[in-house]
């Protein structure tokens, strides 16, 4: 009998077909969002699962699905998975780092630029038919990106890719704060200088948040931190909802204590804090940081390889797929 696995969300058909060569695959072609009891019911008897950030894999679920041996998540972030609970039960957890680094860095940069140069706000103005007078000198003036100070909170792969874009592409002074300082050669390779968090907040013209979500990064940017930023600064969050206090950010945007924000992730997404929706000076996108065709394929493909390797149906981890 072939090993039974669950693919929790709709995915590239050819990649799901590749899994069918090794596994008895139950998919979700209609892309239904299952409740937790529905997810548990569908995982009954399954040895592996290909999951996304939409599913919560916690101790209760694991205890209800004792045959589960591997949870392979599509995405670099895995805060939806209780890794300790998985480890304690011998369940392998994998993610899809590296393949999305540059695409997500591109997106973070785009969102930051859109916020700084007021692209969404001015597009709404134009589409709404308000552009009746051309050439007004102060129409949608924003902050410059080139030559300004780029701050990065969280200096993993994506943070470093953003730093390179800023330092070498846009002539920016790049400062960062991270749990630990990078080795000098790594700092040099991305043109960034380590500072404490207060300096990061105080000196950044454009602050991008790329830190993974955890109990210790919860509301790393809240009312207190927002007050420390320049009133001309922008804040961009491409990490996870919850790292930024969205309600406090809405207040800061409304009061003008920072100039603008770009958000791809939200606390409680797909719900978005109504107070944020009410602000004009924020660019909002539905968690699409890694959403280029090539990268989404690469993520799904790596996830499938991870599942095959984790369940011992293919090359061992570390061996390049053939």
- The footprint of ligand DGY (CB under 6 A) covers 53, 75-77, 100, 289-290
Residue 146 annotated in active site = no
Q: Of 165, 177, 287, 296, which one is the catalytic site residue?
A: 287
Angstrom distance (rounded) from CA 148 to CA 134:
28
| Listed residue (105, 76, 110, 107) closest to 93, CA to CA | 76
Minimum distance, C-beta of residue 308 to ligand DGY, in the bound complex (Å): 20
Residue 187 annotated in active site = no
57 and 36 Cβ atoms separated by less than 8 Å? no
**Pick 95 or 148: Cβ nearer ligand DGY:** 95
Q: Of 42, 89, 193, 269, which one is the catalytic site residue?
A: 269
**Pick 122 or 285: Cβ nearer ligand DGY:** 285
**Pick 53 or 262: Cβ nearer ligand DGY:** 53
300: its two tokens: 């799904």
Q: Of 177, 240, 267, 305, which one is the catalytic site residue?
A: 240
289: its two tokens: 């940081």
Locate all alpha helices (DSSP H) within 258-292, ordered by sequence.
274-277
For 127, phi then psi, to 5°, come to -65, -30
54 and 287 Cβ atoms separated by less than 8 Å? no
Q: Which residues contact 254 (CB under 8 A, 6 or more apart)?
A: 275, 278, 279
Minimum distance, C-beta of residue 76 to ligand DGY, in the bound complex (Å): 4
**Pick 97 or 254: Cβ nearer ligand DGY:** 97
260: its two tokens: 């603008």
Angstrom distance (rounded) from CA 299 to CA 205:
32
Locate all alpha helices (DSSP H) within the chain, ordered by sequence.
13-20, 36-43, 59-64, 83-88, 101-116, 119-127, 157-164, 184-190, 197-203, 223-228, 246-255, 274-277, 293-310
SS3 267: coil
| Listed residue (215, 245, 102, 164) closest to 261, CA to CA | 245
**Pick 53 or 108: Cβ nearer ligand DGY:** 53
**Pick 96 or 204: Cβ nearer ligand DGY:** 96
Angstrom distance (rounded) from CA 153 to CA 182:
13
Residue 118 annotated in active site = no
Instruction: Show which residues are catalytic.
Output: 240, 269, 287
């Amino acid at each position: 009998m072939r090993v039974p696995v669950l693919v929790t969300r709709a995915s590239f058909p050819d990649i799901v077909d590749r899994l069918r060569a090794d596994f008895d695959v139950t998919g979700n072609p209609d892309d239904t969002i299952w409740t937790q009891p529905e997810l548990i019911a569908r995982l009954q008897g399954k040895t592996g699962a290909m999951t996304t950030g939409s599913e919560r894999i916690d101790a209760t679920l694991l205890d209800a699905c004792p045959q589960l041996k591997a949870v392979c998540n599509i995405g670099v972030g895995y805060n939806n998975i209780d890794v300790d609970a998985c480890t304690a039960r011998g369940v392998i957890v994998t993610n899809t780092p590296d393949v999305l680094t540059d695409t997500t860095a591109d997106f973070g940069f785009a969102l930051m630029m859109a916020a700084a140069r007021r692209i969404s706000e001015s597009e709404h103005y134009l589409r709404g038919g308000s552009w009746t007078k051309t050439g007004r000198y102060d129409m949608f003036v924003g902050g410059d990106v080139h030559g300004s100070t780029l701050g990065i909170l969280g200096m993993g792969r994506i943070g470093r890719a953003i730093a390179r874009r800023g330092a070498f592409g846009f002539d920016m002074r790049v400062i960062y704060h991270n749990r630990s300082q990078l080795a000098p050669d790594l700092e040099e390779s991305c043109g960034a200088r380590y500072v404490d968090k207060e300096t990061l907040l105080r000196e950044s013209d454009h602050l991008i948040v790329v830190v993974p979500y955890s109990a210790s990064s919860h509301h790393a940017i809240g009312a207190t931190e927002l007050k420390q930023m320049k009133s001309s600064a922008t804040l961009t969050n491409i990490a996870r909802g919850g790292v930024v206090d969205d309600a406090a950010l809405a207040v800061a945007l409304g009061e003008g204590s920072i100039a603008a924000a770009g958000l791809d992730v939200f606390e409680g997404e797909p719900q978005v804090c109504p107070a944020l929706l009410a602000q004009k000076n924020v660019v909002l996108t539905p968690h699409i940081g890694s959403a280029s065709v090539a990268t989404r394929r690469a993520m799904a493909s790596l996830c499938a390889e991870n599942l095959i390797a984790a369940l011992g149906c293919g090359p061992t981890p570390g061996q390049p797929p053939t």
